[in-house]
């Protein structure tokens, strides 16, 4: 007999399933999928870190070939809060001994795990691997391509703050290193699905074909981009990926595009400040704004990350419709 909190979760889910078995791109999601994920995530958020038995007897491997704090910790905690067993492999795995990604992932799949969370530096890895394993593959970012669970946690943060079902009539200004950012591609896709107007403020030297491909409006002037916007979403300058080669210096970048109190005050009076983390204080965002300012929703994003990932793990590990994923061994 399910306890009262589990009954609450089961009632919230109401027999619903999402339309996908793996999550590698926001393009896969219908508006109905997003609504199901968010309804369940909100309920998990209410129950905080309560230990559910919803995914008991299920296991997860976190396969992280690149560094992470938030994504890895929250996927691991999410699984454990659902009573899953978890194990992590990454930079010390046998990939270092020339084992291919495919052989690695099929090896881990042979442990009959339910979910494989994959972060890699190459675009498309999660999607390709998902076709050849029984487990559901969740993309924890792939190269400069997508970071779908980051966008989902960003979306719920915006919707819950505005108290709306979509972002129609809202303006989201994305500031910073769109060239090297992992969250950018997914964030733009999700904001478009939810109906937001998107502005991009970045140095011309960092702007990419994304701007034309997604029909975005590019601003070289940060003040103009922020004026009256509802969300200021800042991205980290990815120095380790060579971003410094695209700007004269980090100090100059900060002067031109860093978010200060004065700049944030140009946004709409109830605007919020968001950042996927990690924040480089005093480069992307002025230190005083980063965590404690009432307009900063950066830690709310982190909290929502746990709830959204829990929602996805439950939806993918347990289906009411009895449908099964198809895949081919290679």
Interface positions with ligand CP (CB under 6 A)? 68-71, 147, 150, 276-278
CB of 65 to ligand CP, least distance (A): 12
Strands 197-201 and 217-219: parallel
Q: Which is nearer to ligand CP, 5 or 70 (CB)?
A: 70
| Shortest reach from residue 158's CB to ligand CP, in Å | 16
CB 230, CB 159: distance < 8 Å: no
Nearer to ligand CP, 242 or 248 (CB): 242
- Distance in Å, CB of 284 to ligand CP, minimum: 12
- Between 43 and 147, name the residue whose CB sits nearer to ligand CP: 147
Tell me the closest approach of the beta carbon of residue 33 to ligand CP, in angstroms: 21
Report whether 219 contacts 203 (CB < 8 A): no
Residue 268 DSSP symbol: -
Residues paired with residue 61 on neighbouring β-strands, in sequence order: 87, 116
272, burial (CB in 10 Å: exposed 0-12, middle 13-18, buried 19+): buried
- Rounded to whole angstroms, the Cα distance separating 113 from 55 reads 11
Closest approach of ligand CP to the CB of residue 79, in Å: 15
- What is d(CA 122, CA 142) in angstroms, rounded to the nearest whole number? 5
CB of 318 to ligand CP, least distance (A): 25
Closer residue to ligand CP (CB): 221 or 240: 240
| Closer residue to ligand CP in complex, CB, 55/149 | 149
Q: Which is nearer to ligand CP, 36 or 151 (CB)?
A: 151
Distance, in Å, from the CA atom of 295 to the CA atom of 158, rounded to the nearest integer, reads 12
Question: Contact at 8 Å (CB) between 266 and 208?
Answer: no
Q: How far is CA 225 from CA 119, 148, 175, 301, in A?
A: 32, 25, 9, 22
Closer residue to ligand CP in complex, CB, 304/311: 304
E strands, the chain, are 59-64, 85-90, 115-120, 136-142, 171-175, 197-201, 217-219, 231-234, 272-274
- In whole angstroms, how close is the CB of 328 to ligand CP at the nearest point? 30
Strand partners, 86: 60
Paired strand residues for 59: 85
Comparing CB distances to ligand CP, the nearer of 115 and 150 is: 150
Residue 161 and residue 193 in contact, taking contact as beta carbons nearer than 8 Å:
no
CA distance 209 to 219: 14
Work out how close the CB of 234 gets to ligand CP at its nearest, in angstroms, rounded to a whole number: 12
């Amino acid at each position: 007999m399910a306890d009262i909190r589990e009954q609450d979760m089961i009632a919230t889910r109401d027999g619903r399933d999402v339309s996908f078995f793996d999550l590698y791109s926001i393009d896969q999601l219908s508006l109905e999928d997003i609504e199901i994920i968010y309804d369940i995530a909100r309920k998990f958020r209410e129950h905080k870190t309560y230990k559910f038995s919803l995914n008991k007897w299920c296991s997860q491997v976190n396969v992280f070939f690149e560094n992470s704090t938030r994504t890895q910790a929250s996927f691991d905690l999410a699984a454990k809060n659902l009573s899953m067993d978890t194990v992590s492999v990454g930079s010390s795995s046998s990939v270092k001994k020339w084992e291919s990604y495919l052989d690695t992932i099929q090896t881990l799949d042979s442990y009959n795990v339910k979910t494989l969370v994959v972060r890699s530096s190459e675009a498309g890895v999660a999607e390709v691997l998902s076709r050849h394993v029984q487990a559901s593959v969740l993309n924890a970012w792939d190269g400069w391509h997508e970071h779908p669970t980051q966008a989902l946690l960003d979306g719920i943060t915006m919707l819950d703050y505005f108290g709306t079902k979509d972002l129609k009539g809202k303006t989201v200004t994305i500031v910073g290193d769109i060239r090297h950012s992992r969250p950018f591609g997914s964030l733009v896709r999700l904001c478009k699905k939810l109906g937001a107007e998107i502005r991009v403020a970045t140095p011309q030297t960092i702007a990419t074909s994304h701007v034309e491909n997604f029909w975005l409006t590019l601003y070289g002037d940060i003040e103009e981009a922020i004026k009256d916007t509802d969300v200021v979403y800042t991205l980290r300058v990815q120095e380790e990926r060579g971003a410094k080669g695209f700007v004269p210096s980090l100090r100059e970048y900060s002067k031109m595009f860093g978010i200060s109190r004065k700049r944030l005050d140009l946004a709409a009076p109830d605007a919020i400040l968001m950042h996927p983390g990690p924040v480089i204080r005093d480069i992307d965002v002025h230190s005083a704004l980063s965590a404690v300012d009432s307009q900063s929703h950066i830690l709310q994003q982190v909290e929502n990350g746990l709830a959204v990932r829990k929602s996805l793990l439950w939806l993918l590990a347990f289906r009411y419709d009895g449908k099964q994923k198809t895949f081919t061994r290679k």
